[in-house]
Amino acid sequence: MLDFVGPMQAFELACENSTSDPPYAWQFCSVSGGMIRTSAGLDVSTTALADCDPSNIDTIIIGGGPGVHRAAAEPKLTNWFANVAPHVRRVCSVCTGTFVLAASGLLSGRRAVTHWSSCDLLSKMHQDVSVEIDPVFIQDGQVWTSAGVTAGIDLALRLIEEDVGHREAMRVARRMVVFLKRPGGQAQFSAPLRVQSSEGRVFEEISAWIQGNLRRDLRVERLAEKAGMTPRTFARVFRQKTGKSPGKAVEEFRLEAARRALEDSSVCLKEVAASSGFQSEEHLRRAFRRRLNVLPHEYRLRFHNGNEKARQTGH
């Protein structure tokens, strides 16, 4: 529900100072119209797509959710998008709504993003789409895609900025108590690591062992020995099962540990680096910059539990 209610709230706030001719009017639509029950159990009144006049539409936004793959397989919906898209200014998706745009052929040859946990699936199902995992949203021509759930608010604020200016977008962001431009990308929020859900008990055990031994030498030779494989076989099978190299997986585990330390403690960065297995504070900084596009001290300011300054930054 937040996929569409979040952007709607931003658009509503952009209209609150308009005495006449507000910049936005919106309606919720579905294939057949009528009451649609969201996954949260709330009913929403919708207009049938057949009753929507394309000449009166400026921007289309589609949300995601548990039913998105059924929606993407619904010809009435995907054909409507394919036919109407050329006649509107913008077509957007929030979270896994990207799958519907892809099924409609609107992402062919374009860059796109979706919820971090669905990026691999999107890439496998639609190999003609250039899928990126980190951006909060991407604009490629008239098509905008955004990351998971609350990223729809980030997207809406950018559309408001494009339509009515930076000052108004900033005012709406302040009213919603969110960043106008969220620092970093969605990678900094994707806590579960895919290696932890890989097939095979051996890799589950290796995953648990790595997390408990981050200070140790975790080169591929050591991990292969632990798994009872040759280094070459281990590296090959590990990549097949997890989609990444052992070295990259180890760095992600260390980053995850460092993030938790920054969120939950006030120890110095040197100690955070050591406890999470980085060779030095500088190696920690480089990993944060490369993987999360944010520096460790900036991450702590924004996400440290109980940090008053972090809460004020959100305002």
Q: Which residues are catalytic, by number?
A: 95
55 is written with which tokens? Answer: 């000449």
Three-class secondary structure assignment of the chain: CHHHHHHHHHHHHHHCCCCCCCCCCCCCEECCCEEEECCCCCEEEEEEHHHCCHHHCCEEEECCCCCHHHHHCCHHHHHHHHHHHHHCCEEEECHHHHHHHHHCCCCCCCEECCCHHHHHHHHHHCCCCEECCCCCEEEECCEEEECCCCHHHHHHHHHHHHHHCHHHHHHHHHHHCCCCCCCCCHHHHCCCCHHHHCCCHHHHHHHHHHHHCCCCCCCHHHHHHHHCCCHHHHHHHHHHHHCCCHHHHHHHHHHHHHHHHHHHCCCCHHHHHHHCCCCCHHHHHHHHHHHHCCCHHHHHHHHCCCCHHHHHHCC
CA distance 208 to 243: 18
For tokens 């649609």, the residue is 36
